A and B are shown apart, each in its own frame.
Chain A
Amino acid sequence: MKNLIERLHIKYSLTDIVNQRDNFVYLTIRKENAIDLVTYLKDYEGFSHFVLLSCVDWIEDGKFQLSYFLNQPNKKFDIAIRTMIDRENAEMQSSHHLWKHIETYQRELREMYGINFPKNPRIEENFILEGWDEIPPMRREFDTKRYSEKTFFPREGRKTYDPATYMKDKLYPNAPITAKVNKKDE
């Protein structure tokens, strides 16, 4: 499989390659080439099983990371293709024509992150939320606790503790708060 990765590297000028396990590779690629690479892997290299399309919000960098997980069932090999897109007016080329279920993943990302996939059918349809008028909830800047307190009548009497200080005060009043690994039997 090293062979394949090298070929891909030359062909698509990958920006980063991370070997997670011996049968699992993360490839990072520019946004424009991502769908080309997915299509190439599907059509020529036998990556016929599409596992997952996911998104990570790197709010510090102002980027969304899209991850396409592909699986080659015969050689039992996985490739995850990562690509960064802008958070502002997030938009990505749709890949619903490759596998039927990508349509659903893209609908979810549209609703949860506000990423647009033009040409994806039913992209405007409600998927999970109904009548949602806030910012998309899975974005990092959306504060779910504040929204919940504002909307859902929190019952009085709930006390919340910071677990670290609470355990220190109640259970181990004399122990110092430091992270340390308990080495066993040494």
Chain B
Amino acid sequence: MSNLFNWNPDRSKYPLMKEDGSLDVDLSSQKFTKLWVGPNHPGVTGNMAVEITVSGDEIVHAKTHVGYLHRGFEKLIERRLFIQGFPTCIRMCVAEPDYNEYLLSKSIEDLSGIEIPEMAEWLRTLVLEMARLQSLLRTVPGQGGTFSLGLGVQWGMYLRDLILDRFEELTGGRIYHMYILPGGVRGLLPDGFKERLEENLQLIDEFIIKIKKLMFDNAVFKKRAIGVGVIKKEWVDQFGIVGPNARSVGISRDIRKDYSYLKYQELDFEPPTATDGDIFARSTVRYRELIQTVDLIRQIMAKMPEKGDIKSPTPNVLHWKIPKGETYTRSESSRGEYGMYYVTDGSDKPRRINLRGPSYNHAMTLLEHMLVNANISDVHAIMVSLQTCPPEIER
């Protein structure tokens, strides 16, 4: 009886590839349809496109197209002074720009040997965690949004706006902050900031309970998410999977834990993991990460000193020359390992920077691989569950 309703026949013959890797699909045979998901499509994450070939509802081949957001940042920063790189650099990933500022400052500090004061480290940790919080408030309910559960998105976006308000109070900017600078940060917390942030965190606590009832206890959501878009454990190294996507198959990789930076070794946390590797596992990992981030922000606010020095002295930024060298710095963004390769040549401009975004692997090779055999309805859900962010692919 159960086989009667099993509508997923054996599709092991896909992908229809020839020996040299080219596609063995004859579009004129009328058995296949070519579909473009994006760039002008309400479902895709950002401005990217997936070209899929479908047979019925099954995808036989997928190809990611990027480059719609290419601005040539790496080229632009090569012709700017170190300090001029900051306004340019933060626009590389719009979802959580603070990681870009942190990496750029950290690279410059690494190469020129500047130590930053303790208070600045605490403030940087706080800002990075707040950035993660606002990003998770968008993506955790966003997974429900891919299954047309728009209610959670509406609630989440409201709370995200509150966190952005706190950012505005602290830094003056709503999306782009430019708060972290080489040598430290730009300012102390305003009066009453902690209380106001705590009020918002309490609202988020309520939201965490509500979103569990709405999404994770929902029968239809489970039906759509469990067993769909599975990442296998052996893929993690093969495809360079990092962050929550790797943690959802039980491989605990977290830069905050493994290569502890800033003040993370003084905080008490354990990166959440799951075992199944499907969409449901990834969204539960993100959900537990949301709970953990709220907890981390509370810990930071409790342990942080009230006042202190926030900026180490730096040379005049307009005539700053850094000796020849290169460095690779990394941090854990909400999508995974976020690194920057920074090369200087002794002049007043960097020779080369290269951003290593997690989506570079997730959205290209991994997505192309995962979409084969998937149902056409799940394209968007898989894309969101990998949390792809096109600007960091093409920069």
Contact = CB atoms under 8 A, between A and B. Distances in A.
A138 B385 CA distance: 32
Given A100-B239, A128-B70, A179 B361 contact: no
A20 interface: yes
Contact of B72 (A144, A164, A182): A144
Contacts of A26: 326
Interface residues of A, number: 49
A100 B6 CA distance: 33
Contacts of B318: 163-164, 167
B352 A54 contact: yes
Interface stretch (A32-40, A45-53, A86-94): A45-53
Contacts of A7: none
A51 B72 contact: no
Interface string B310-341: 00011110111100001110000000010101
B319 A181 contact: no
Nearest to B74: A138
Interface in B72-111: 72, 74-76, 78-79, 81, 84
A56 B327 CA distance: 13
B237 interface: yes
A100 B238 contact: yes
A135 interface: no
A119 B101 CA distance: 38
Contact of A100 (B76, B327, B365): B365
Contact of B328 (A73, A78, A129, A164): A78
Contact of B81 (A142, A145, A163, A184): A163
Contacts of A164: 318-319
A49 B66 contact: no
A126 interface: yes
Contacts of B259: 23, 76
Nearest to B362: A101
A48 B240 CA distance: 9
Given A73-B253, A103-B365, A137-B75, A127 B328 contact: no
B123 interface: no
B233 interface: no
B313 A129 contact: no
Contact of B79 (A50, A55, A122, A145): A145
Given A52-B356, A69-B328, A101 B361 contact: yes
Contacts of A99: 237-240
A183 interface: yes
Contact of A179 (B72, B81, B315, B327): B315
Interface string A158-186: 00000110010000000001111111100
A134 interface: no
B364 interface: yes
A104 B341 contact: no
B211 interface: no
A174 B151 CA distance: 60
A175 to B, nearest CB: 10
Contacts of B121: none
Given A128-B66, A179-B319, A100 B369 contact: yes
A83 interface: no
B179 interface: no
Interface string B368-379: 010000000000
Interface of B: 20-21, 66-67, 70, 72, 74-76, 78-79, 81, 84, 237-240, 253, 258-259, 313-316, 318-321, 326-328, 337, 339, 341, 343, 351-352, 354, 356, 360-361, 364-366, 369, 394
Interface of A: 20, 23-24, 26, 48-52, 54-57, 67, 69, 73, 76, 78, 80, 99-101, 103-105, 121-122, 126-130, 137-138, 140, 142, 144-145, 163-164, 167, 177-184
